[in-house]
Amino acid sequence: QVQLVESGGGLVQPGGSLRLSCAASGSIDSISLMGWYRQAPGKQRDLVALISNGGTTNYVDSVKGRFTISRDNVKNMVYLQMNSLKPEDTAVYYCNAQIGLGVWGQGTLVTVSS
């Protein structure tokens, strides 16, 4: 079973950039969809970005043009490059593998504040 571990979160100023990493314990080359979700306190967990095995991407409207999702099936890694960060981007970010009922990482906290 694939296990996911996120890293790269932290405190950044508005307008800053951050790159999140998701390390998989096993191969992800057979997983059709990998994604990033985020959840702010008291809010539901929402989709941020998806990437297929063929490289097709989808983004929630609020991050289009600012965030980029990518995957490296050789290194078994998924990334989320976040630019022009806004305070409303503050949340715990989770990596997800669409396998079975879904596999989730433990999350990494991103705080955007001056």
User: 89: which 2 tokens?
Assistant: 């981007």
Residue 1 pLDDT grade (very low, low, confident, very high; cuts 50, 70, 90): confident
- DSSP states along the chain: ---EEEE--EEE-TT--EEEEEEESS--TT-SEEEEEEE-TTS--EEEEEEETT--EEE-GGGTTTEEEEEETTTTEEEEEE-S--GGG-EEEEEEE-STT-EE---EEEEE--
How confident is the model over 9-65, as pLDDT tens digits?
999 999 999 999 999 998 999 898 999 999 999 999 999 999 999 999 999 999 999
Q: Give the residue-averaged pLDDT of 85-111.
A: 96
What pLDDT, on a 0 to 100 scale, did the predictor assign at position 90? 98
Place of tokens 């979160």: 9
